[in-house]
Structure formats: C-alpha cells, structure tokens
C-alpha cells in the first residue's frame, strides 16, 4: 500500500467520466488499498478513483453518518439515489481533497443511497439520511461523472472558490497533484 498524489482542480482526470470495473483484479485491489491509505493521510471523508488519476468507477469513504457513527468502505460501480429535500446550509461547508483547503456551502439532497459491489464482488448498499456520509456519497459519485463540487456552486461562489484556489497557488502552471503526506500542503 502507498499514498498516492491527489489530483487538483484543473487536472484532466477530474473532468472525465469513469469506466465500469468489469473484473476485480489484483490491480483494482491495490488501487483500493492505496486509496484508503491516501484518504486517511489526507484526513478525507472520501476519495474517488479520478482523484488519484485512475479512471475506474469506484470510491472509498470513511466518515460519520446521521447517527454520528463512522462508516468505512468501498463501492465499485455505484448507482446513486438521492432523496429528501435539497438543502443549502450557509454554515455547512463542503470541501474536496482536489480543491485543497477550501470549503463552500453546496446544495445537496438530505439523503443518499448508493448501490454497487465491494471488493469481494458482493452487492453492497450504503445509505444515509442527513449526515456527512449522505453528502460524501453524492460528492464521490459526482467525481465519477466528471463533476467537481465547484460545478454545483452559484457562479459567484464558484468564482470565489477559484480565486481562493489560485491565491493558494494550487492553479500554478504545471501543478496538477499534491501529496497528502506533505505537512505544509496538508495545513492549507
């Protein structure tokens, strides 16, 4: 297992749709192990394959649900269902490991359910009705469809977010990834 560099806004991998996993191979298992280690190193709620430069339709998560229970797992070839009303709480900031150090209010459905398979090829369903996990499920599936949470912001907030990312130096020429083990980068 190893920590992989995380792609940042502007990286091509973040704007492309992913490919379905047809077979769970040793390479897929190694990718998932690396993604868990990378997510843990970055203190993330979740991490999608494009965020480590892979085009597979899978993500890992490790965050609290509505009952404040930390849930951890992987979903391969997820299918997302959203339910409950759409909420935009100005006090709840959504962040992203591919937009380091920034967080903005983002409208999301209150609840989400994702169905797919796990590393054993078994059907898995993950559901939450209002915790961080519900937001993370929607956020990670967005990544698999080539969408960043910045794309869901109002135009003014999106401009504010891009300006903040630029001011932090994350959009510098040639910079496309960051290493979550880098203490200075992680302190953003």
Average pLDDT, rounded, for the chain:
93
Contact between 84 and 124 under an 8 Å Cβ cutoff? The reply is no
The C-alpha atoms of residue 85 and residue 65 are separated, in whole angstroms, by 17
CA–CA separation, 143 and 171 (whole Å): 19
**What is the reported pTM?**
0.93
pLDDT bracket for residue 1 (50, 70, 90): confident
pLDDT value, residue 171: 78
How many other CB atoms are found less than 10 A from the CB of residue 18?
Answer: 21
Q: Known catalytic residues?
A: 140
Is residue 143 a known part of a binding site? yes
Q: Where are the alpha helices (DSSP H) in the chain?
A: 26-42, 132-144, 155-167, 183-186
Distances (CA, A) of 32 to 23, 35, 65, 118, 169: 14, 5, 21, 10, 29
pLDDT at 184: 57
136: left (phi over 0), alpha (psi -120 to 50) or beta: alpha
Gap between the Cα atoms of 38 and 33, Å rounded: 9
In the chain, % of residues over pLDDT 70:
97
């Amino acid at each position: 297992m190893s920590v992989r560099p995380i792609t940042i806004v502007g990286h091509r991998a973040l704007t492309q749709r992913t490919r379905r996993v047809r077979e769970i191979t040793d390479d897929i298992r190694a990718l998932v192990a690396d993604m868990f280690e990378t997510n843990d190193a970055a203190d993330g709620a979740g991490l999608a394959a494009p965020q480590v430069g892979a085009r597979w339709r899978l993500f890992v998560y490790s965050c609290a649900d509505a009952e404040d229970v930390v849930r951890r797992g992987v979903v391969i070839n997820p299918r997302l269902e959203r339910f409950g009303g759409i909420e935009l709480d100005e006090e709840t900031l959504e962040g992203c490991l591919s937009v380091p150090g920034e967080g903005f209010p983002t409208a999301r459905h209150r609840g989400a359910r994702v169905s797919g398979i796990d590393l054993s090829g078994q059907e898995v369903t993950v559901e939450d009705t209002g915790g961080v996990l519900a937001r993370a499920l929607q956020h990670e599936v967005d990544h698999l469809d080539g969408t960043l949470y910045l794309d869901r912001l109002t135009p003014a907030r999106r401009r504010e977010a891009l300006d903040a990312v630029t001011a932090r130096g994350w959009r510098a020429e040639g910079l496309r990834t960051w290493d979550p083990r880098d203490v200075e980068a992680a302190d953003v």
